[in-house]
Structure 1
Amino acid sequence: MAALRVARRMFCAAAESASAPVKQSRWEALKGSKAGVWCRSLLSDYKEACREILVGARDRPVKASLYATLLGGALACSHTTPDYSSFEATFLDRSAQLGLLSPWNRSSTSDGHMQSLAKLRNEGRLRHISLGLLSLIYYADFDPNVTLYEAQCSNLSVRWRDLPQRVLDVGFAGRWWNLDSKMQDYDINEEEFKHLPPHMQVTSPPSVHEVERNERLHKESWLPLTVNDEEMDTNVVDRREKSISGKSQPKPLT
């Protein structure tokens, strides 16, 4: 009877252990959830896309090189896109360069552009917007701190279709292109030459032969003068004749 009782207990314990649910680990439960299935499908899609990119680059190397160059250029331009502080520093630097010149020597184009930028900056109407690959500087109608209704109403703000007409400068590849263009030949006053004929208003750079000739003449100007014997004899004879003629002239009566 004791043996039968022990066997019955063992049979009941085995049945209970077989009927109990199997406990899963947290990682297996996470993989079986909806989020785990979605992540696995996403990783599978990315893996397949990368495999197709590698196969396409191997089959078409020229096209792949072109795309890689464009992507690298876009990343470089995005990394070197100037901000508003860069524009302000460049503006102050160009203003200092222009201020060192006399008003009679400044270019009217450069001076007028810098004066208009200074006026808008003092009024607080300059705005900056970054488009990723490039930056834009444009002007608004009011300072942002103005409490007028026209300045605070969003319906009266600058519209996107009016933005191209308000753009003052474009920042690309670490430079402000319009500012550099306006400051070209800033130390030349065009008004001084407007009365000259057209062919004298335009100057062309010298050729290579002209530059070599000017350099040769400059070097020869520093050489000592050489006088040959014939020139020395001629100079001595001329001096003697002048001294003899001076002695032969009669002295005026006093």
Structure 2
Amino acid sequence: MSTPFYVSPQQAMADRAEYARKGIARGRSVVVLQYNDGVLFVAENPSRALHKVSEIYDRIAFAAVGKYNEFENLRIGGVRYADLRGYTYDRDDVTARGLANVYAQTLGTIFSSAGEKPYEVELIVAEVGAGPEDDQIYRLPHDGSIVDEHGSVAVGGNADQISNYLDQRHRDGMTLAEALKLARASLARDTNGTERTLTPEQLEVAVLDRTRPQQRKFKRLLGRQLSLLLEEGSGATSVADVADESGEDTGSEG
């Protein structure tokens, strides 16, 4: 009789974690930065149909890297959770912390389940507050742990190198234009340190803007608006500036 093949639980979990990390690292990176008026999301993503950054609720947005079908299922589940909680209780009861806890439970259950493969995703959930000190940013790796982030965070691709670059250059009180240019510069750096050129068409950009008068603070930056913010010498530093100059206002989702 043949001897049963045995793998220790520790080794099995390590193998699952390595499998998920390799899948996540194959994707293009997403960075999230705080700026003076809110939270900025920038992803290297030439597609205008398959979003890496999305609105979840009034003050909450979601960013993800990895397998699209997996993080899209999580995004839809998050929207349903937020809508149900806001309808049942109050809109103010829907928080990034509560949503992050829901995602952590889901990812943790899938990761520890021997009957299915782990999700190859890494998530960021952010909420804009009344002031910069009230902003919340949570990073959720594949295993369902929660990391409370401040200032800036990067996931996917060469996230460690990008995070180091951002840590050295990000500062409190940056304008939207300054934060956007820093985000593009960080994403444009290859693993060997050389810089590429990323055009506005290659970027997916959105903000949670605390100055918006609407209850919903999420807004995508597209076309002329995005180009003006990235253009040196344009004088545009905020969403209000580019809306006034371009005449465009893409609004929030939904």
Q: Shorter-chain-normalised TM-score: which range?
A: under 0.3
More helix by share: 1
More strand by share: 2
Give 1 or 2 for the bigger CA radius of gyration.
Answer: 1
- Provide the TM-score with structure 2 as the length reference: 0.20
